[in-house]
Amino acid sequence: MTSPHFSSGDLIADRRADYARMFAESGEYAEAAELMEQALEQVPGWAAGWFRLAEYAEKSGQKEAAATALRKVIALDPADIFGAGLKLAVLGVTEAPATPPTPYVERLFDDYADRFDTALVERLEYTVPQTLAAVVRKYAGDDARFGLVSDIGCGTGLFGVEIRSNAVRLEGFDLSAGMLTKAGEKAVYDHLAQADLSLPAPASGLFADGPEGRADLVSAADVLMYLGDLAEVFPSVARLARPGGLFAFSVEDSGPGETPRLRPSLRYAHPEGFIRRRLGEDGFDLLTVERSVIRRDAGEPVHGLLFLARRRA
């Protein structure tokens, strides 16, 4: 049956949605879309149902119907917890937003927290925590000791586990309360707190429990692809890192280009030149950049860039 999170609250509509899902799982997307339309006749104010209809319509080649359903989602849910605005941009109907909606990112990772480690590491061959920690050690030395490491967008703490032996004190920040709970279970962080990296530094939450210029190393492992144009992130990191402090982070590689690109995965990919400019504008000197396959998506390799930069004195 339909999960409580997706439920319309109407038994008949939920039953039709379940049948629609079964058709979709068999690749019969047009039939799935037709059943979802019937379900929505019962419950026209069901935002999650309209989003599911958009998915089926898109996969059955009905682009205009998908766009109409996505606009309905936004009308019913202006906070856009489903990322319907991002989907419209992927369809080519609207311009890609500079950043994804915060409620969408928060819900995405709260829902994903319990299965995150298994899904990402075991099934998608996720490598960023290990490879990014290796980049840091290659520059600073295997036995380097950082007085304070600030792991922003720490997720379930996978990078924290990798860098703990090099950190005197380790703090982690994430938008998702569910992710922070999982990070706490790993017992490697000295401090964990919620923060919204899309907000300007005073409002982001990064400085609620500590001063500016405190971090010897700031890390952002597999985070920036959920933050779009990074307009607030790099200035915040510049305020968080001490002069001479390091900034280690990863992005998905968009290849040639000048600006970030929204992918069908609803993640942003960034060109190397764009990142270099952002670093220079916000007071960082680039130390090294490495290319790596950072995960697999639908069986295909996702290519990434791993950066290490230093905050100017």
pLDDT in tens, the chain (313 residues): 344 457 888 899 999 999 999 999 999 999 999 999 999 999 999 999 999 999 999 999 999 999 999 999 999 999 999 999 999 999 999 999 999 999 999 999 998 888 877 777 767 788 999 999 999 999 999 999 999 999 999 999 999 999 999 999 999 999 999 999 999 999 999 999 999 999 998 899 999 989 999 999 999 999 999 999 999 999 999 999 999 999 999 999 999 888 999 999 999 999 999 999 999 999 999 999 999 999 888 788 999 999 999 999 8
pLDDT given at position 3 = 45
Element (DSSP H or E) covering residue 219: strand 215-220
Q: Classify residue 41 by burial, with Cβ atoms within 10 Å: 0-12, 13-18, 19+.
A: exposed
Q: Phi/psi class of residue 187: alpha, beta or left (left: φ > 0; alpha: ψ in -120 to 50)?
A: left
Bridge-based pairing state of the strands 191-194 and 215-220: unpaired
Bridge partners, 310 (sequence order): 246, 285
**Rounded Cα gap, residues 169 and 166, in angstroms:** 9
Bridge partners, 251 (sequence order): 305
Q: Which domains does the chain have, with CATH numbers?
A: 11-95 (1.25.40.10), 110-311 (3.40.50.150)
Mind giving me the DSSP string for 172-235? EEES-HHHHHHHHHTT--SEEEE--TTS-HHHHSTTSSS-TT-EEEEEETT-GGGSTT-TTHHH
pLDDT given at position 299 = 81
**Rounded Cα gap, residues 211 and 206, in angstroms:** 9
Residue 38 CA: distances (Å) to CA of 13, 33, 277, 304: 8, 9, 51, 42
Structural contact between residues 239 and 207, judged by C-beta atoms closer than 8 angstroms: yes
Neighbours of 45 (CB within 10 A): 12
Neighbours of 285 (CB within 10 A): 10
Bridge partners, 289 (sequence order): 307
Q: Phi/psi class of residue 209: alpha, beta or left (left: φ > 0; alpha: ψ in -120 to 50)?
A: alpha
pLDDT given at position 96 = 94
- The residue among 110, 105, 46 whose CA lies nearest residue 81 is 105
**Rounded Cα gap, residues 131 and 174, in angstroms:** 21
pLDDT given at position 5 = 53
pTM given for the model: 0.91
pLDDT given at position 236 = 97
